[in-house]
Homo-oligomer: A and B are copies of this chain.
Amino acid sequence: MINGERRIERPLRWAMVGGGRTSQVGYKHRTGALRDNTAFQLVAGAFDMDFARGRDFGVNIGVAAERCYPDYKSLFAEEAKRPDGVEAVTIATPNGTHYEITKAALNAGLHVICEKPLFFKVEEAEEIKALAEEKGRILGVTYGFSGQSMLLQMRAMVAAGAIGDVTIVNLQYTHGYGCDPTGDKTNESQKWRVDPAVAGPSFVLGDLSTHTYYMSNLILPDMRIKELLCDRQSFVGTRAPLEDNAHVMMHYENGAVGTMWVSAVNAGCMTGQRIRIVGTKASLEWWDAYPTELRHEVQGQPGQILYRGTDYLDGIAKDDERLGALHVEGLSESWANIYLKFAIAMDAKNRGDEELLKDLVYPSIDGGLEGVRWIANCVKSAEQGSVWVKYE
């Protein structure tokens, strides 16, 4: 149970690059990072491409005017000069800038938290992973849904054999907000997502499916994809070559199979991220729209609904509980949970506590790298004509 008491000696001094007034995701980062004021303190930022707007925004959320910077370069440079300079930075900018800013941040000696999809290429992710290791810094990736405690419950139940051997992995993350393409041209926080130069080699595969794919790995840490096939479409033609819909089939090394449906054109769908893990004797199913509930369906027995915050859950799920049963946790708690783990990881890294780091379950550089790899394989398959490709 989390009640806000400190888990690390003192909160880390933290800054943001991006995430300003027009950002869809900036508030989620701050909500997560600043939940209890015992993990991070926001002390600086380069919140916006528009410096004046970014500084005004920074001041409005409590950052000193002189620590609001026009860009990440000046942020890193000026903060490095201060005795109380930032120790960690979040990068919440369009995809195409992640690589260079992350690299600069690590080279500035900062711990980094970066939005997904991490980078465009697997090679970049591998290079940055090596750099982070060399610099002894943490790189966390904000798979923002992955902090929901029932996912950890699923992980624990699968590990405990509650569903038998996994046979089928059924993943979906869809919505319909892309049906109307107006936002592609008019919405500041949307339009870069459909521009390959800024968004990278994919739209919904990167924007949506990397979340769900990471969550499936969180639940199923021992499963590896052997080959996959991806069929992608741009139903709104102006988005081509970036897809607004894709279906993926996966073959896992252990003989299991999987599917992913990812879409921004699933018209009217408001509850569209679902994970169903089927085993030889039971299944687990979870929707992100009803995160408090987990279906456990044992063949031949009454279906079960497990509720968040209850005594019968596994310890790993109860550890991340904040409100207690009967009360709804939302996306805020998920972000708070992963940011708390980022802080714990950074603190452990600072202290050289590799033992703790080995066991900490959180979206690290490895999860980020796997997301990039997932996109790369999907795109490769799609570009070759939606054929099976060896996962590599």
Over the window 143-172 of chain A, the binary record of Cβ atoms lying under 8 Å from chain B Cβ atoms (1 yes, 0 no) is: 000000000000000000001100110100
Residues in chain A within 8 A of chain B (CB atoms): 3-6, 11, 21, 24, 26-28, 30-31, 34-38, 57, 60-62, 163-164, 167-168, 170, 175-177, 179-180, 229, 231, 233, 235, 245, 247, 249, 251, 257, 259, 261, 263, 265-270, 272, 278-283, 288-292, 296-307, 310-312, 322-333, 385-388
B245 touches A269 (CB 8 A): no
Partner of A388, one of B247, B312, B386: B386
Min Cβ gap A337→B in Å is 12
A303 touches B261 (CB 8 A): no
A283 touches B267 (CB 8 A): yes
Given A31-B322, A176-B299, A302-B305, 11 other A-B residues pairs in contact with their CB atoms under 8 A: A168-B245, A249-B249, A259-B259, A259-B261, A266-B283, A267-B279, A268-B301, A270-B307, A289-B292, A302-B306, A302-B310
7 sampled A-B residue pairs with Cβ under 8 A = A5-B60, A6-B61, A175-B326, A267-B280, A267-B282, A270-B303, A328-B329
B24 touches A30 (CB 8 A): no
Taken together, the copies of this chain in the complex come to 4
B38 touches A268 (CB 8 A): no
Min Cβ gap A209→B in Å is 15
B245 touches A231 (CB 8 A): no
B268 touches A297 (CB 8 A): yes
In order of increasing CB-CB distance, the 3 nearest A-B pairs are: A268-B297, A330-B330, A5-B60
Min Cβ gap A150→B in Å is 12
